Amino acid sequence: AVDLADRDRVPAPSPMMSALDDTTGTGPGVPVGSSAHGVQSLRAQVRETFPHDPLAFTQGLEFRGETLYESTGLVGESSLRAGPPGRPPTLYAELPAPLFGEGITLAGDKLWQLTWRNGIAIERDPTTLAERRRVTYEGEGWGLCHQRVADRERLVMSDGTSRLTFRDPKTFKSTGGISVRQAGQPVTHINELECAPDGSIYANVYLTDTIVRIDPHTGAVTAQIDAAGLLTASEADRAEQLNGIAAVPGTNEFLITGKHWPRMFQVAFVPA
Protein backbone atom coordinates (compact mmCIF):
# COMPACT_ATOMS: atom_id res chain seq x y z
CA ALA A 1 0.00 0.00 0.00
CA VAL A 2 1.15 3.51 -0.69
CA ASP A 3 1.93 5.55 2.36
CA LEU A 4 0.30 8.88 1.71
CA ALA A 5 2.34 10.72 4.29
CA ASP A 6 4.54 13.22 2.53
CA ARG A 7 7.83 12.01 3.86
CA ASP A 8 9.80 13.66 1.11
CA ARG A 9 10.67 17.26 1.24
CA VAL A 10 11.10 19.69 -1.54
CA PRO A 11 12.24 23.27 -1.14
CA ALA A 12 9.55 25.93 -1.08
CA PRO A 13 9.02 27.32 -4.56
CA SER A 14 11.35 30.20 -5.29
CA PRO A 15 9.78 33.65 -5.07
CA MET A 16 11.43 34.34 -8.45
CA MET A 17 9.81 31.34 -10.07
CA SER A 18 8.07 33.02 -12.96
CA ALA A 19 6.83 36.30 -14.24
CA LEU A 20 3.32 34.91 -13.95
CA ASP A 21 3.38 34.77 -10.23
CA ASP A 22 4.53 38.34 -10.06
CA THR A 23 1.01 39.31 -11.05
CA THR A 24 -0.14 38.23 -7.62
CA GLY A 25 3.09 38.42 -5.68
CA THR A 26 2.58 34.84 -4.53
CA GLY A 27 3.86 31.43 -5.43
CA PRO A 28 2.26 28.01 -5.69
CA GLY A 29 0.34 26.93 -2.62
CA VAL A 30 -0.19 30.48 -1.44
CA PRO A 31 -3.79 31.70 -1.55
CA VAL A 32 -4.24 34.41 -4.12
CA GLY A 33 -6.12 37.54 -3.17
CA SER A 34 -9.35 36.80 -1.38
CA SER A 35 -10.13 33.71 -3.51
CA ALA A 36 -11.31 30.98 -1.16
CA HIS A 37 -8.94 28.29 -2.38
CA GLY A 38 -6.25 30.36 -4.06
CA VAL A 39 -6.56 28.80 -7.50
CA GLN A 40 -5.23 31.06 -10.25
CA SER A 41 -6.97 31.01 -13.62
CA LEU A 42 -4.44 30.88 -16.42
CA ARG A 43 -4.49 30.21 -20.14
CA ALA A 44 -1.93 28.88 -22.62
CA GLN A 45 -0.59 31.70 -24.79
CA VAL A 46 1.10 30.32 -27.91
CA ARG A 47 4.64 31.54 -28.59
CA GLU A 48 5.68 29.05 -31.26
CA THR A 49 4.37 25.95 -33.01
CA PHE A 50 6.18 22.80 -34.12
CA PRO A 51 5.07 19.84 -36.22
CA HIS A 52 4.13 16.70 -34.28
CA ASP A 53 3.77 13.13 -35.58
CA PRO A 54 0.00 12.65 -35.90
CA LEU A 55 0.52 8.90 -35.50
CA ALA A 56 2.01 9.42 -32.02
CA PHE A 57 -0.47 8.57 -29.26
CA THR A 58 1.43 10.85 -26.89
CA GLN A 59 1.81 9.62 -23.32
CA GLY A 60 5.00 11.25 -22.08
CA LEU A 61 6.97 14.36 -23.02
CA GLU A 62 10.15 15.72 -21.47
CA PHE A 63 13.14 17.83 -22.49
CA ARG A 64 16.74 17.33 -21.62
CA GLY A 65 18.84 20.12 -23.09
CA GLU A 66 17.78 20.44 -26.73
CA THR A 67 16.50 16.87 -26.92
CA LEU A 68 12.79 16.17 -26.64
CA TYR A 69 11.84 12.70 -25.41
CA GLU A 70 8.38 11.40 -26.24
CA SER A 71 6.69 8.12 -25.39
CA THR A 72 3.62 6.81 -27.16
CA GLY A 73 0.95 4.30 -26.25
CA LEU A 74 -1.50 1.77 -27.73
CA VAL A 75 -0.69 -1.94 -27.96
CA GLY A 76 1.58 -2.62 -30.93
CA GLU A 77 2.19 1.11 -31.49
CA SER A 78 4.01 2.04 -28.32
CA SER A 79 7.38 3.70 -28.67
CA LEU A 80 9.97 6.01 -27.25
CA ARG A 81 11.52 8.70 -29.42
CA ALA A 82 14.15 11.37 -28.88
CA GLY A 83 15.49 14.23 -30.96
CA PRO A 84 15.13 17.94 -31.67
CA PRO A 85 11.51 19.11 -31.31
CA GLY A 86 9.56 19.20 -34.55
CA ARG A 87 12.12 17.03 -36.39
CA PRO A 88 12.13 13.30 -37.07
CA PRO A 89 13.54 11.51 -34.01
CA THR A 90 17.22 10.62 -34.00
CA LEU A 91 16.61 7.79 -31.52
CA TYR A 92 13.66 5.40 -31.61
CA ALA A 93 12.74 2.34 -29.53
CA GLU A 94 9.68 0.16 -29.95
CA LEU A 95 7.71 -1.14 -27.01
CA PRO A 96 6.31 -4.44 -28.27
CA ALA A 97 2.88 -5.90 -27.45
CA PRO A 98 1.44 -6.49 -24.96
CA LEU A 99 3.06 -3.39 -23.47
CA PHE A 100 1.13 -0.10 -23.63
CA GLY A 101 3.52 2.82 -23.20
CA GLU A 102 2.78 5.63 -20.77
CA GLY A 103 4.72 8.42 -19.01
CA ILE A 104 8.46 8.90 -19.11
CA THR A 105 11.02 10.85 -17.17
CA LEU A 106 14.77 11.33 -17.06
CA ALA A 107 16.63 10.96 -13.78
CA GLY A 108 20.41 11.31 -14.09
CA ASP A 109 21.67 8.43 -16.22
CA LYS A 110 18.27 6.72 -16.21
CA LEU A 111 15.16 7.10 -18.30
CA TRP A 112 12.04 5.50 -16.79
CA GLN A 113 9.10 4.53 -18.98
CA LEU A 114 5.75 3.46 -17.54
CA THR A 115 3.19 1.09 -18.98
CA TRP A 116 -0.57 1.51 -18.60
CA ARG A 117 -1.93 -1.79 -17.20
CA ASN A 118 1.13 -4.00 -17.56
CA GLY A 119 2.52 -3.13 -14.10
CA ILE A 120 6.00 -2.72 -15.57
CA ALA A 121 8.37 0.24 -15.55
CA ILE A 122 11.34 0.05 -17.92
CA GLU A 123 14.68 1.61 -17.13
CA ARG A 124 16.59 2.75 -20.21
CA ASP A 125 19.83 4.45 -21.15
CA PRO A 126 18.81 8.00 -22.15
CA THR A 127 21.68 8.25 -24.64
CA THR A 128 20.66 5.15 -26.66
CA LEU A 129 17.14 4.34 -25.32
CA ALA A 130 18.44 0.78 -24.78
CA GLU A 131 16.48 -1.14 -22.16
CA ARG A 132 18.45 -1.91 -19.00
CA ARG A 133 15.93 -3.58 -16.72
CA ARG A 134 12.29 -3.83 -15.71
CA VAL A 135 10.65 -3.35 -12.34
CA THR A 136 7.05 -3.98 -11.35
CA TYR A 137 4.51 -1.82 -9.53
CA GLU A 138 0.91 -2.05 -8.36
CA GLY A 139 -1.89 -0.31 -10.20
CA GLU A 140 -1.94 1.63 -13.45
CA GLY A 141 0.83 3.78 -14.87
CA TRP A 142 -0.10 7.17 -16.36
CA GLY A 143 2.27 10.11 -15.86
CA LEU A 144 5.80 10.43 -14.53
CA CYS A 145 8.23 13.23 -13.69
CA HIS A 146 11.40 13.74 -11.71
CA GLN A 147 12.15 16.36 -9.08
CA ARG A 148 15.58 17.36 -7.89
CA VAL A 149 15.40 18.10 -4.22
CA ALA A 150 18.07 19.89 -2.17
CA ASP A 151 19.96 16.75 -1.22
CA ARG A 152 17.97 14.06 -2.99
CA GLU A 153 15.63 13.30 -5.81
CA ARG A 154 12.35 11.59 -6.39
CA LEU A 155 10.04 10.44 -9.14
CA VAL A 156 6.40 11.53 -9.10
CA MET A 157 3.94 9.10 -10.70
CA SER A 158 0.23 9.37 -11.50
CA ASP A 159 -2.08 6.37 -11.91
CA GLY A 160 -5.34 7.84 -13.20
CA THR A 161 -6.69 8.60 -9.75
CA SER A 162 -6.03 11.75 -7.72
CA ARG A 163 -2.98 10.13 -6.14
CA LEU A 164 0.60 11.05 -6.87
CA THR A 165 3.10 8.45 -5.68
CA PHE A 166 6.70 9.43 -4.93
CA ARG A 167 9.34 6.89 -5.89
CA ASP A 168 13.04 6.42 -5.46
CA PRO A 169 14.65 7.14 -8.87
CA LYS A 170 17.15 4.29 -8.40
CA THR A 171 14.88 1.49 -7.14
CA PHE A 172 11.43 2.75 -8.24
CA LYS A 173 10.16 1.88 -4.74
CA SER A 174 7.39 4.02 -3.27
CA THR A 175 8.50 6.61 -0.72
CA GLY A 176 5.13 8.27 -0.09
CA GLY A 177 2.67 10.40 -1.95
CA ILE A 178 0.02 13.09 -1.97
CA SER A 179 -3.55 13.41 -3.16
CA VAL A 180 -4.36 16.15 -5.68
CA ARG A 181 -7.20 18.33 -4.45
CA GLN A 182 -8.94 21.43 -5.68
CA ALA A 183 -11.33 23.27 -3.37
CA GLY A 184 -10.94 20.29 -1.05
CA GLN A 185 -12.18 17.79 -3.63
CA PRO A 186 -9.99 15.10 -5.20
CA VAL A 187 -8.98 15.79 -8.80
CA THR A 188 -9.04 12.44 -10.58
CA HIS A 189 -7.65 11.34 -13.97
CA ILE A 190 -4.31 13.02 -13.35
CA ASN A 191 -2.36 12.15 -16.48
CA GLU A 192 0.94 13.33 -17.99
CA LEU A 193 3.12 15.20 -15.51
CA GLU A 194 5.83 17.81 -15.56
CA CYS A 195 8.03 18.61 -12.61
CA ALA A 196 8.80 22.26 -13.33
CA PRO A 197 11.97 24.13 -12.35
CA ASP A 198 9.91 26.21 -9.89
CA GLY A 199 9.20 23.07 -7.82
CA SER A 200 5.55 22.74 -8.74
CA ILE A 201 4.03 19.81 -10.60
CA TYR A 202 1.98 20.43 -13.74
CA ALA A 203 -0.51 17.78 -14.81
CA ASN A 204 -2.79 17.09 -17.72
CA VAL A 205 -6.27 16.09 -16.58
CA TYR A 206 -7.42 13.25 -18.83
CA LEU A 207 -10.43 13.95 -21.07
CA THR A 208 -10.14 17.69 -20.49
CA ASP A 209 -8.24 20.63 -22.00
CA THR A 210 -7.17 21.64 -18.51
CA ILE A 211 -3.70 21.54 -17.03
CA VAL A 212 -3.41 21.95 -13.27
CA ARG A 213 -0.46 23.25 -11.28
CA ILE A 214 -0.01 21.31 -8.04
CA ASP A 215 1.77 22.26 -4.82
CA PRO A 216 4.09 19.27 -4.24
CA HIS A 217 3.93 19.70 -0.45
CA THR A 218 0.17 19.45 -0.07
CA GLY A 219 -1.29 18.26 -3.38
CA ALA A 220 -3.36 21.44 -3.58
CA VAL A 221 -4.12 22.76 -7.06
CA THR A 222 -2.69 26.28 -7.19
CA ALA A 223 -3.56 27.13 -10.79
CA GLN A 224 -5.96 25.89 -13.40
CA ILE A 225 -4.80 26.41 -16.98
CA ASP A 226 -7.22 26.48 -19.89
CA ALA A 227 -5.45 24.98 -22.90
CA ALA A 228 -8.52 24.61 -25.13
CA GLY A 229 -8.66 25.78 -28.73
CA LEU A 230 -5.06 25.19 -29.78
CA LEU A 231 -5.93 23.05 -32.80
CA THR A 232 -8.07 24.17 -35.71
CA ALA A 233 -11.51 22.54 -35.92
CA SER A 234 -10.41 20.20 -38.72
CA GLU A 235 -7.22 19.25 -36.86
CA ALA A 236 -9.23 18.60 -33.71
CA ASP A 237 -11.57 16.27 -35.63
CA ARG A 238 -8.71 13.88 -36.27
CA ALA A 239 -6.96 14.29 -32.92
CA GLU A 240 -7.60 12.97 -29.44
CA GLN A 241 -7.02 14.37 -25.96
CA LEU A 242 -4.54 17.03 -24.93
CA ASN A 243 -1.69 15.11 -23.27
CA GLY A 244 1.99 15.86 -22.98
CA ILE A 245 3.69 18.74 -21.23
CA ALA A 246 7.42 19.46 -21.10
CA ALA A 247 9.18 22.44 -19.52
CA VAL A 248 11.36 24.16 -22.12
CA PRO A 249 14.83 24.44 -20.55
CA GLY A 250 15.99 27.94 -19.78
CA THR A 251 12.53 29.47 -20.14
CA ASN A 252 9.27 29.79 -18.22
CA GLU A 253 7.53 28.19 -21.19
CA PHE A 254 6.20 24.71 -21.88
CA LEU A 255 5.78 22.52 -24.92
CA ILE A 256 2.33 20.93 -25.00
CA THR A 257 0.68 18.54 -27.43
CA GLY A 258 -1.80 15.67 -27.51
CA LYS A 259 -2.60 12.19 -28.67
CA HIS A 260 -2.50 12.10 -32.48
CA TRP A 261 -2.06 15.87 -32.63
CA PRO A 262 -0.42 17.22 -35.80
CA ARG A 263 1.24 20.09 -33.93
CA MET A 264 2.97 20.95 -30.67
CA PHE A 265 2.75 24.37 -29.06
CA GLN A 266 5.35 26.27 -27.10
CA VAL A 267 3.27 28.23 -24.64
CA ALA A 268 3.46 30.61 -21.71
CA PHE A 269 0.86 30.33 -18.97
CA VAL A 270 -0.61 33.82 -18.53
CA PRO A 271 -3.56 35.18 -16.55
CA ALA A 272 -6.84 34.20 -18.24
Mask 28-67, x = binds Ca ion (CB under 5 A)?
Answer: ---------------------------------xx-----
Q: For the chain, give me the number of helices (H) and strands (E)?
A: 1, 22
251: CB partners within 8 A, 6+ apart:
none
**CB of 20 or CB of 137, closer to ligand DDQ:** 137
Rounded to the nearest angstrom, the gap between the alpha carbon of residue 243 and the centroid of all alpha carbons in its chain is 8
Contacts (CB under 6 A) with ligand DDQ, residues 141-170: 142, 160
Which of these segments, 14-22, 110-118, 172-180, 186-194, binds Ca ion (CB under 5 A)? 186-194
CB of 192 to ligand DDQ, least distance (A): 8
**Closest by Cα among 254, 265, 256, 258 to 20:** 254
How deeply is 37 buried, as exposed, middle or buried, from its count of CB atoms within 10 A (0-12, 13-18, 19+)? middle
Establish if 102 lies at the interface with Ca ion (CB under 5 A). no
Size, binding site for ligand DDQ by CB under 6 A? 8
Establish if 137 lies at the interface with ligand DDQ (CB under 6 A). no
CA distance 55 to 197: 30
**CB of 24 or CB of 252, closer to Ca ion:** 252
Contact residues for Ca ion, defined by CB under 5 A: 61-62, 194, 246
